[in-house]
Structures are given as C-alpha cells and as structure tokens.
Amino acid sequence: MRHFLRDDDLTPEQQRHVLDLAVHLKAAPYDARPLAGPQTVAVLFDKPTLRTQASFASGIAELGGFPMIIDGSLAQVGVRESVPDVARVLGRQAAMVVWRTHDQSRLEDMAAFSGVPVVNALTDQFHPCQVLADLLTLREHHGQLAGQVLAFVGDAACNMGHSYLLGGATAGMHVRVSGPEGFEPDPEVLLQAQVVAQATGGSVAFVADPVEAVSGADAVATDTWVSMGREAEAEARAAAFAPWSLDEELLSHADDEAVVLHCLPAYRGKEISAAVLDGPRSVVWDEAENRRHAQKAVMAWLLESRSGECS
C-alpha cells in the first residue's frame, strides 16, 4: 500500500504525474471523485492549523468525500491509546488518514497499522504537502522545474528545509539551503537528497552564506524562525537568524525574475520583510491556494493506486 509520508515517497515520474493531475484538478475541480459515496477521510491535528485544515477539508469535499476532523488534544493519540491501536480503529472507519503531528515515527506507525493510505500533513521532520504545492506554484510561474535554482534561507534543520531538499531534488532542481551554525539539515536527509539529485540531474547543497545561497536563484523561500514547539527559543533564534532575514537587500542577489515563497504564517520584519512578502515577486497566496490542488492530486493518486488504476 502506498502512503505519502515524506517527499521521496514519490519517484520523479510519480511526482510529475501528481503535479500534472493537480494542474488538471485546478482547472476542473470535480473531474476526480474517488471519495464519492461519500467516503470518510480521518484528518487529525496535533498541532495548530489553518491552511492545512481548510485545504484538506475543501479538497476532500471536492473529491466527493467527507472530512472527519479530529482534535488531537482530545484524541490524545499515543497517550490514551497507542498509535497502532488508533491506526487500527481509524482504518476501519475511514478510507484514508491525514495526520499533522510531531515526530515522523508516529506517522510511520500509523501507516504500518492503519490498513489505509496515510498522508503527512506536517511532522517535525517533513512537510511534503507544502512542498508539492510550492512545486506546483513554481511550475505555474516558471513553466518548468528541472534546472531551476531554489534557495531556502532560515532554519535549514526544519521540516521545510528537509522537504525542499528531497522534493526539489526529485524535480531535478538545484536546491540550496542556508542557515546559521547549529541549524544545518539532518545529514541523512541531505545524503538521501544527493542520491536523488544524482539520478534527476539536479543538485543539493548546504550553503552557510545566505547571499551566496540566493545568488542567481529562480526562487527564494523562507519560513518562520520559531517552529511550533520551539517558542521558548524565540529570542535566541531571532538573534541567530537575523542575517538570514529575507528582505529587499538579500532578494536583490537573486535572479531578476525570481519569485518568493513562504508557507505561512509569516512574521513581517523577522524572517521576511513586509515589502518582500507583500511585493510583486511574492507568490505566497498562490502557494496557499495550491495546497488544496496538490493535496487533492496526492489523495486521488493514492486511492487510485489501491485499485491498480494509476502507476
């Protein structure tokens, strides 16, 4: 059974297929109805959410299904009941499980025991649905992905940094991630992204200097400096990350046609300036919309693959 737990769960061919399907479903929202019945999709949130909940709920409805939203603070998965026990229960009630949670190992346990496809709606290590939406957005604005240079500046050890490495390498992009000392990507993730990039003609690198990282880039991305659960480190992180703030000066080193990505929520004056976030090169609102289309394509692909209708 296929799941979507991290970016490299999709081969380059499968990623292209999912993005092609996302383009189609954006133009024709009701052309795929794999959840018609409606079938139920269990959507669990252990972390705060706005875009993820809105985009999955609307996307599941457009696929003909019903989103069963579960508040993680009430469900207490792994506290009141073990993850395998919850997985077995939800697998008997729903056609699919979508989970926004903490450690990646929890998601892997859910996939091992649910008996239905599982989708990563964010973990501490990866955010593959967001990066699929970002790739869709870049395709819309640049026409292609292979060969493009994507720079990520900020917390390179976070889930977005990891997913840009894996997802961008899968698309054949040249990915540079940049952050201060102590915030480098997980070595295992960087190594795996290098393996993928060798096969796709892309490349990946950690670049300590933010100016070098964004020089000539076709897209520049950033994310909040204080990920969920890191609030106690906010002051120290603000001091450490200040040189990586995506402002007009840093963006001036990118290509003249470069676009700006941010997965939101954004903090103007910290990881990104108001002038950049709200400026003409920002495509963040397209990203926010494209979460729905990309996730619909993933869900449709996973459900179709169960019946052998999709490669």
Task: For residue 1, say whether it is annotated as part of any ligand binding site.
Answer: no
Distance CA 296, CA 27 (A): 13
Cβ atoms of 136 and 163 within 8 Å: the answer is: no
Task: For residue 264, say whether it is annotated as part of any ligand binding site.
Answer: yes
Distance CA 73, CA 60 (A): 23
- Report the SS3 class of residue 81: strand
Task: For residue 158, say whether it is annotated as part of any ligand binding site.
Answer: no
Task: For residue 310, say whether it is annotated as part of any ligand binding site.
Answer: no
Task: For residue 228, say whether it is annotated as part of any ligand binding site.
Answer: yes
Task: For residue 245, say whether it is annotated as part of any ligand binding site.
Answer: no
Residue 104, burial from CB neighbour count under 10 angstroms (0-12, 13-18, 19+): middle
* Residue 58 CB neighbours (<10 A): 16
Nearest to 47 by CA among 227, 272, 282, 236: 227
Give the residue numbers annotated as catalytic, written as ranges.
Answer: 100, 127, 130, 223, 263, 291
Task: For residue 263, say whether it is annotated as part of any ligand binding site.
Answer: yes
Residues facing 205 on adjacent strands: 176
Task: For residue 299, say whether it is annotated as part of any ligand binding site.
Answer: no
Task: For residue 307, say whether it is annotated as part of any ligand binding site.
Answer: no
- Strands (E) across 149-235 are located at 149-153, 174-178, 203-206, 219-222
Cβ atoms of 254 and 151 within 8 Å: the answer is: yes
Task: For residue 76, say whether it is annotated as part of any ligand binding site.
Answer: yes
Nearest to 94 by CA among 66, 119, 57: 66
> Which positions make up the binding site for L-ornithine?
159, 223, 227-228
> Which positions make up the binding site?
76, 100, 127-130, 159, 223, 227-228, 263-264, 291
> Which positions make up the binding site for carbamoyl phosphate?
76, 100, 127-130, 263-264, 291
